[in-house]
Chains A and B, each alone.
Chain A
Amino acid sequence: MALLENLLLVLARSLVDDPERVEVSGTESDSRVDLELRVAPDDMGRVIGRQGRTIRAIRTVVKAASVKLGKRVTVEVPD
């Protein structure tokens, strides 16, 4: 899970104005990893993107990295 958390951190930090305020937390079970991404309120638009395009791309990339772990991964951005 550390790999996926770190990847999400790297991706989100590259996209936002305020990288210091990017936080990632997660829970892991045998079959899945659930990640949560928190950013500064002003950066919400940056990580979601128009019509959710950016968060969709983030999920695709994180999912690709999770293949090696053989687990299902979800990425949520709580508001």
Chain B
Amino acid sequence: MTDEREFYAATVDEAVEKAADELDLSVDEVPYRVLDEGNTGFLGIGARDARIVVEVGETQEAAEEDAPLAVPSEPAEGADQPEIERPESIATPERPALSEVYGNGSSESEQNEAPQELLDEIKELVDSILVAMGFEARIEVYDAGGFIAADVAPDNTALFIGQKGETIDALQYLVNVAAFKERPFFKRVVLDAEGYRQRRVEAIQGMAHRTARRAIRERRTVELPPMNSSERRVVHLFLSDNPKVTTESEGSGDNRRVKISPTT
């Protein structure tokens, strides 16, 4: 079991150096993946930090970061032998971020598998709505631990997702209301298509990161655009381990948004 940490700096190389420094590794030992290559901009305009994500061994950070929101991990193995994986082995897509966003944070419910009958019912429900909308789609529904995943492969993904995800989010909301109409709420159903949720989480993390930098640089509170609750949660979670800023949601309804302030 490994954990991940993000590092950022002006360039990828500098970010790797920073990671190596903090993790006590030499630069060529850091197992990293590039999230954003960054951009030096033109005369500093439009500059963007490079961001990398590094897999850290269980022993490095997991112990202190073992918040209830984290994906349950196995007990740490020998502390003097951190389990660092080589770069080529980390190409697999990452799901933990989604679990953190959509799970309710209770590992108890993560261990409770959804009954097959519920999964079948959700699949039928999603299928009937998509057919009625005129889509042809393959649908897979399974228990993803912290949430129930409904992965859809529609013939028209752009239309299924909609502008800023408005269609997929509306469908997800309706499916959740309908699925738990006659039974107590169990786990959130998360609709997804072609990895949209993961991409969206990463895009919001990037925006949160850049906005936090700006708040620190300009020594003032900066607001993000209005977001729904799961997207705001992405921001709060992502910036919670950045001691230089604090986050707070403000406004109501469709206008609720996160404010990022430098720590005073």
Contacts and interface: CB of A to CB of B under 8 A. Distances in A.
Interface in A31-66: 46, 49, 51, 53-54, 56-58, 60-61, 64-65
Which of A3, A7, A14, A53 has most B Cβ within 10 Å? Answer: A14
Given A61-B171, A64-B167, A10 B129 contact: yes
A74 interface: no
A61 B167 contact: yes
A15 B181 contact: yes
A65 B177 contact: no
A57 B174 contact: yes
B134 A15 contact: no
Most B C-beta atoms less than 10 A away, residue of A3, A10, A68: A10
B181 A61 contact: no
B253 A11 contact: no
Interface residues of B, number: 19
A6 to B, nearest CB: 6
B178 A51 contact: no
A48 to B, nearest CB: 11
The A interface, classified by DSSP as helix, strand, loop or mixed, is helix
Interface of B: 125, 128-129, 132-134, 159-160, 162, 166-167, 170-171, 173-174, 177-178, 181, 253
A58 B173 CA distance: 10
Contacts of A10: 128-129, 132
B167 A11 contact: no
Contacts of B167: 60-61, 64
A60 to B, nearest CB: 4
A79 B166 CA distance: 27
A50 B159 CA distance: 27
B27 to A, nearest CB: 49
A61 B177 contact: no
B132 A58 contact: no
10 contacts: A7-B132, A10-B128, A10-B132, A46-B181, A49-B177, A53-B173, A54-B173, A57-B174, A60-B170, A64-B160
